Amino acid sequence: MNVVLVGPPGAGKGTQAAALEEKTKLKHIASGELFRQHMRDETELGKLARTYVDRGELVPDDIVITMILERIFQPDCEHGVILDGFPRTKEQAAALERALEEHQQKIDAVIFLNAPRDVLLKRIVGRQTCRNCQTPYNIYYSPPREEGVCDLCGGDLYTRSDDNMETARHRLEVYLQQTAPLIEHYRALGLLHEVDGLGDIHEVTARLVRELGINGELPHQPRT
């Protein structure tokens, strides 16, 4: 089973993808982290991607899809994956679908996770992360017990430089321009499942599980 998780910045895609990974044997693949890993390891794909990143250009879809397909067909993904962060556009989705078809695979479901704009903005600008153990917090929704200090390890908390209101508003606008056609593309294919991203993590995870009809357990059928 291959699942795509889409939604605006601040919708909780990464958090929910990780939660779904724990409840099923689906493997969470975050495209952004995959990119960074390839560039850190200086793989051939990572070096190629860096030539575009260093010029401030978007990495071509064929490079991104090659990275994702390479990851999808590793042994720990035999039961399926949760794609987080890709595709972002209708064109990327079509390219991914063609590439999967060549490997006798397909996208089985697309989860559209959404929340009101004011909530999304607070989730983005309120984010903090522990420098030591990377535990995430939010000053509005899940603050630490002591301001600026991680509950788990006592490390310092920091806010990403791009997690400010101006950048957050811009990111939402870009999302609306680029991703709205993607949502309609998957809706037309009958793959779209819309899920309310409001509420605590466990409530939203429960909605995702119900929407996918897996009841916390996936019929684990390895790929052929």
For all residues of the chain together, what is the average pLDDT? Answer: 88
Measured distance CA(107)–CA(92) in Å, rounded: 13
pLDDT, tens digit, 9 for 90 and up, residues 136-190: 899 998 999 999 999 999 999 999 888 889 989 988 988 888 888 899 999 999 9
pLDDT at 224: 36
Query: What is 2-115+191-212's CATH number, 1.20.1250.20, 3.30.565.10, 3.40.50.300, 1.10.150.530?
Result: 3.40.50.300
Q: What's 103-136 look like in SS3?
A: CCCCCCEEEEEECCHHHHHHHHHCEEEECCCCCE
Task: Show the low-confidence residues of the chain (pLDDT under 50).
Answer: 216-224
- 136 phi, psi to nearest 5 deg: -90, 150
Q: What percent of the chain has pLDDT above 90?
A: 54
Break the chain into its structural domains and give their ranges. 2-115+191-212
Contact 138, 125 (CB under 8 A): no
pLDDT at 215: 56
pLDDT at 111: 95
Measured distance CA(140)–CA(125) in Å, rounded: 9
- Write out the catalytic residue numbers: 13, 88, 127, 160, 171
pLDDT at 60: 86
* Strands 136-138, 109-114: pairing kind: unpaired
pLDDT at 52: 85
Measured distance CA(18)–CA(37) in Å, rounded: 18
pLDDT at 196: 94
CB < 8 Å & 24+ apart, contacts of 116-120: 116/198, 117/172, 119/10, 119/197, 119/198, 120/8, 120/9, 120/10, 120/11, 120/168, 120/172
Q: ∠123-127-131 over CA atoms, to 5°?
A: 160
pLDDT at 217: 44
Contact 59, 35 (CB under 8 A): yes
